[in-house]
Amino acid sequence: MTVEIADAGVAQPEAARGRVIHPVWVRVCHWVNAIAIVLMIMSGWQIYNASPLFPFSFPRSITVGGWLAGALLWHFAFMWLLVVNGLVYVTLGLVTGRFRRKMLPIRPADLVADTRAALGGHLSHDDLSVYNSVQKLLYLGVILAGVVIVLSGVAIWKPVQFQELTAVFGGYEAARYVHFFAMAAIAGFIVIHVVMAVLVPKSLRTMITGR
């Protein structure tokens, strides 16, 4: 962590002075995304159930839409919210330099040390303005999974009009699996993310009030 603090020299005093850790655009994008991704995943499970890729289905009680057509309506409505919000977030993250400042660099040695500390429950979350390398990896990873899930979704939706994109994923059937595994990655992230927010409640407060 000491290495990271040097890099995050700007963020550190900010937190110390009680200034905003998450600017308003980060918080708005975060919560809009939370609504969109949960509805996309739950309606997606109902759609999956119409023709499962694996020998299991999702219990209907945790799906959205009631039946295939309903789930499709939800999925193809909230995709707009997910994509537009995602574009705003990624654009601002790049333009403001937040991604670079907060999530880079990820050094393998830190990753090993932080993972070990995290698993032992010793990883400090005292300064929420600085991400440890496990956080950096997961946050960057879930952004990447978000990009993959949108692109593979478009590939499944428009395998004729955007057939070049579908081909990048190895064709229509392969794109379905990519879409599924991207969902699984994001769902896995959400589980860890929510558990961490419960374990470190002030991080939840910070994502609401910014401080």
Partner 1 sequence: MSRKRLVIPGVDAKLLVRDAAKVAPDPARRLFLRGGLSVGALAFLTGCDIVDSASAENALRTVSRFNDKVQAWIFDPNKLAPTYPESAITRPFPFNAYYSLDDAPEVDGADYKLEIGGKVETTRPWTLEELYALPQETQITRHICVEGWSAIGKWTGVRLSEFLRRIGADTRAPYVWFQCAEGYSNTIDMATALHPQTQLTFRFDDQILPRAYGFPMKCRIPTKLGFKNPKYITALWVTDKDLGGYWEDQGYNWFSGS
Q: Which residues bind partner 1 (CB under 8 A)?
A: 31, 34-35, 38-39, 42-43, 46-51, 60-61, 63-74, 76-77, 80, 156, 158-161, 163, 172-173, 176
Shortest Cβ distance from residue 90 to partner 1 (Å)?
Answer: 21
Q: How far is the CB of 24 from partner 1 (least distance, A)?
A: 17
Which C-beta is closer to partner 1: that of 2 or that of 61?
61
What the block records as the tokens of 104 is 């880079």
Residue 16 or 68 having the CB closest to partner 1: 68
Between residues 77 and 147, which has the closer beta carbon with respect to partner 1?
Answer: 77
For residue 45, give Cα distances in angstroms to 17, 65, 101, 168, 186: 45, 10, 36, 24, 13
Q: Which is nearer to partner 1, 30 or 211 (CB)?
A: 30
Q: Which amino acid appears at position 20 of this protein?
A: V
Q: Quote the least distance from Cβ 43 to partner 1, whole Å.
A: 8
Closest contact distance (angstroms) between CB of 26 and partner 1 is 16
Give 142's contacts (C-beta < 8 A, 6+ positions apart): 185, 186, 189
Least CB distance to partner 1 at residue 73 (A)? 4
Question: How deeply is 203 buried, as exposed, middle or buried, from its count of CB atoms within 10 A (0-12, 13-18, 19+)?
Answer: middle
Q: How far is CA 21 from CA 10, 58, 128, 205, in A?
A: 11, 38, 7, 11
Alpha-carbon gap, residue 75 to 69, rounded angstroms: 10
**Shortest spacing between CB 22 and partner 1, in angstroms:** 17
Phi, psi dihedrals of residue 112, rounded to the nearest 5° = -65, -50
Which residue, 98 or 177, is less far from partner 1 as judged by CB? 177
By CB neighbour count within 10 A (0-12 exposed, 13-18 middle, 19+ buried), where does 58 fall?
Answer: middle
Nearer to partner 1, 11 or 186 (CB): 186
